[in-house]
Amino acid sequence: MPTYEYLCDGCGHRFDEFQSFKDEALKTCPKCREDSLRRLFGTGAAILFKGTGFYETDYRSESYKQAAKADQENSSKSSETKSSDSAAVSSTSTAKSETKPSVTTP
């Protein structure tokens, strides 16, 4: 069950309330008894999954995902360059071996 943060627009009273997801938002301020409460958006309502099958890395930030994607693209480009370089070297060595005259000894 999350902890929600509330603020009274009437008297400025600010407090936290431990509530279920199913509970309705509070409306009456416990300090001034006016119906001017509002629930604030905060970090208290976060859910953290624990146990097998849930990993912290499943919920990475967008900046991390973009950096990982850029790294992956760079590594694939460098592997393409390496494979094209090795293909060029192997075709040159094949061409050289084909142009050598064969020498037979009696």
Burial bucket for residue 8 (CB in 10 Å: 0-12, 13-18, 19+):
buried
**Rounded-to-integer distance, Cα 8 and Cα 18, Å:** 17
Considering the entire predicted model, what is its pTM?
0.40
User: For residue 86, is pLDDT > 90?
Assistant: no
User: For residue 91, is pLDDT > 60?
Assistant: no
pLDDT at res. 83: 59
**Rounded-to-integer distance, Cα 15 and Cα 41, Å:** 13
What pLDDT band is residue 37 in, cutting at 50, 70 and 90?
Answer: very high
Of 3.90.340.10, 2.20.28.10, 2.60.40.10, 2.60.120.10, which CATH number belongs to 1-46? 2.20.28.10
